[in-house]
Amino acid sequence: MGYHEHKHSALKSVNCAVIIISDSRTEQDDESGKLIKQRLADNGHQVLFYGILKNNADAIRAKINELVGQEGLQVIITSGGTGASHRDVTVDTIDPMLEKRLEGFGELFRQLTYQEIGTGSILSRAVAGIIKSKVILCFPGSLNAATLAMDKIILPEIGHLVREATR
């Protein structure tokens, strides 16, 4: 079966968790989280969990492990903590947990970011993969990054990603 046949049989609705990783955001001022949740809902997907975590490896690891064990959850989206600063620990924490890496996500995210902002795209460490048949997608915390990731990569492929991760 080719790509188009696979995509045609992709799930139309998936269950997601959204984690914002930030030392400064609150639910009231979290624009990226609001956008991610709204885009998912607008496209027929459910958000089963939403939360904000500090840039803390132990807290991130614990929440990912908890969510990976949650029955019915299919996708975990994290936004924030993917940069080059010493406080940015999302990728360093989640990457070793991945059973399978989806290298194309980070590559495509950086390519699309380059088209928008130029060479600053090298600072993004966007990453994706699979843990226990759950899709994990991690990208920067800015509103522009969330918009780009959701509209140009995640929403067009989310059902297909879940279908493939669970086969």
Residues in the chain: 167
Closest CA to 15 of 39, 46, 41, 38: 46
Residue-level pLDDT at 9: 75
pLDDT digits (tens, 9 = 90+) for 90-112: 999 999 999 999 999 999 999 99
Distance CA 139, CA 20 (A): 10
Residue 2 predicted with pLDDT over 80: no
Instruction: Indicate the average pLDDT of the chain.
Output: 95
Residue 73: count of CB within 10 angstroms of its CB: 19
* Residue 57: φ, ψ to 5°: -60, -45
Taken in order of first residue, the domains within the chain and their CATH numbers are 31-165 (3.40.980.10)
**Which residues have CB under 8 Å from 55's CB, separation 6+?**
21, 22, 23, 80, 81, 87, 88, 89, 90
Q: How many helices (H) and strands (E) does the chain have?
A: 7, 6
Distance CA 15, CA 76 (A): 9
Residue-level pLDDT at 1: 65
Average pLDDT over residues 32-58: 98
With cut-offs at 50, 70 and 90, classify the pLDDT of residue 149. very high
pTM: predicted TM-score of the whole model, two decimal places:
0.95
